[in-house]
Each structure stands twice: as C-alpha cells, then as structure tokens.
Amino acid sequence: MLEIEALRFAWRGAAHDTLQIDSLAIARGETLFLHGPSGAGKSTLLGLLAGVLTPRSGQVRLLGVDWAALSAAQRDARRAEHVGYIFQQFNLLPYLNVIDNVLLTTRFSARRGAQAAQHAGSAREAAQSLLQRFGLDSAIWPRRAAMLSVGQQQRVAAARALIGRPELVIADEPTSALDAALRDGFMDLLLGECRAAGSTLVFVSHDERLATRFDRRLSLVEINRPVPAASAAA
C-alpha cells in the first residue's frame, strides 16, 4: 500500500540529509505507531508520505504510484483523493462551520465526495453520520470551528480525514493537546473508524503508552540511518 525505497531527503540548503530510509512497507489496513524524539524528522516523513514533499532520491509509493513521478498539481489531486491528514492542532478553517470543515476534502476531490455519498446517500449525510459516530451531535454542526473546544476540533478533524474512506490516514500527534480522558476516547474512535473504513493509519506520537493499541510500532530513529558510505557510492 505504502512503500519507501532508498529514500533520501534533505531540506533545501541543508548540508546533510534529514531522512535516509532504505525501505519501509506498510500494508493495506495496517495501523502503524511511529515514534521518535523531537527533530527526528517525523513531520518531514509524513510530508513525504502525503506527497507534499518529494525526496532528493529514492521512491515513496502510495498504491504503487511514486509521488515523485507526478506533477505538483497531480500530487495535490492524488492527496485529496487518497489521503486524510490530522494535525496536532488548528486543523480547521475557523470561518467555516463544523459540517463545511468536514466537507472541505470533498471540495478538492470529487471522488472522495462520491465515495462518501455512496455509503450515506450524500456527502453531507456521510459527514453527519461520521460526526455523530465521533460523538458530535447536531447542535454543534452549524457552529463555526473557532467556537469549539480543542477536543471537539480534533474529532471534527478526524471526521474530515476519514470522510470518503481514504486509503491512507496520517495523524501527526493528534492527541498531544488533549487530556488523558479525551485522548483515550479519541484513540478509540479514530482506530475504530479507520478499521471500519479499511484505511491504513500512520500515527505519530511521543506518547509511547498509546503504542499498544496499534498493529505495528516503529521508531524513526531505528529506521532512519545513514547508509554506509560504500553502498552509497555503489
């Protein structure tokens, strides 16, 4: 589903590669817990997986297609179609209401809209049923995102990432702004919905207590290793 091969990535102007990953494969429907210290390049890796960044060399393939083989516009369209993304915080457009924030994805991908409509009748109904499953009742749907609590915002963000059943959901420390009770509830809902949708989940966090709930646990420090000079030369 998601494959990395001989990945080398360096930020522009940087003397050394930030990421050097020889190979990594993530299966369809797998839930992966990725951890590592700050500055290890977690967010950079997520940017590469989502096709926002492209590697200096090597391949990152989603559903068999190398991101680097696509034009920038094609990558954007492909991301809208196949990827759901949850940030640590500030996931929502403050001036849109809850429903419109969830439907934002479908504005950029007709296919995601169609997929959502397929199961629920219409994209809007799909958004509503997702919100309900995330414990957000209809009273708050017309509210602007800026009026929500952080916990509610993260659940709306999860609903947006999941609408239209994307093949890949990427979550970048989505629970770090939540307290313990909210965090556990959020994790239950996110994992449950990903499994229900058959989506692959790549979840980044410092909080290793969460790792047990995932199919696989991976340390970025362990897979991100400089390749020996000899093989690099070869």
Partner 1 sequence: MKALLGLAARSAWARRGTLALVVFSIALATLLLLALERMRADVRESFAQSVSGTDLIVGARTGSVQLMLYAVFHVGGATNNIRTASVDAIAKHRAVEWVVPISLGDSHRGFAVLGTTPDYFKRLQYADHQPLRIAQGRAFSGDLDGLYDAVIGAEVADALGYRLGQRIVLSHGAGGLPGAEHADKPFSVVGVLARTGTPVDRTVHVSLAAIEAIHLDWAGGAPMPGVVIAPEQARKFDLAPKNVTAALVGLKGRVAVFAVQRFVANYADEPLMAVLPGVALDELWQVVGVGEKALLGMSALVAVVSLAGLVAVVLAGLNERRRELAVLRAVGAGPRHVLWLLAGEGVLITTLGVAIGIVASVLLIALAGPWVQTRFGIALQLAPPSGAEWGLLGAVLAAGVLASLVPGLRAYRLSLADGLSPKV
Q: Tokens 């390049």 correspond to what residue?
A: 41
Under a CB-based contact definition with an 8 Å cutoff, are residues 7 and 178 in contact? no
Q: Per CB under 8 A, which region of 78-86, 119-127, 192-200, 221-229 contacts partner 1? A: 78-86
Residue 80 or 148 having the CB closest to partner 1: 80
Q: Counting contacts by CB under 8 A, is residue 177 touching partner 1?
A: no
Residue 47 or 185 having the CB closest to partner 1: 47
Under a CB-based contact definition with an 8 Å cutoff, are residues 29 and 63 in contact? no
The DSSP-derived string for 46-115 is: HHHHTTSS--SEEEEEETTEEGGGS-HHHHHHHHHHHEEEE-SS--S-TTSBHHHHHHHHHHH-HHHHHH
Q: Counting contacts by CB under 8 A, is residue 66 touching partner 1?
A: no
Per-residue x/- track, 19-58, partner 1 (CB under 8 A): ------------------------x--xx--x-xx-----
Among 25, 27, 72, 180, binds partner 1 (CB under 8 A): 72
Q: Over the Cα atoms of the chain, what is R_g?
A: 18
Enclosing H/E stretch for 116: helix 110-120
Residue 11 or 27 having the CB closest to partner 1: 11
CA dist 184 and 111 (Å) reads 32
Q: Counting contacts by CB under 8 A, is residue 142 touching partner 1?
A: no
Q: Counting contacts by CB under 8 A, is residue 160 touching partner 1?
A: yes
Residue 25 or 72 having the CB closest to partner 1: 72
Residues forming the site for partner 1 (CB under 8 A): 43, 46-47, 50, 52-53, 72-73, 75-77, 79-81, 83, 85, 87, 90-96, 104-105, 107-109, 144, 160, 172
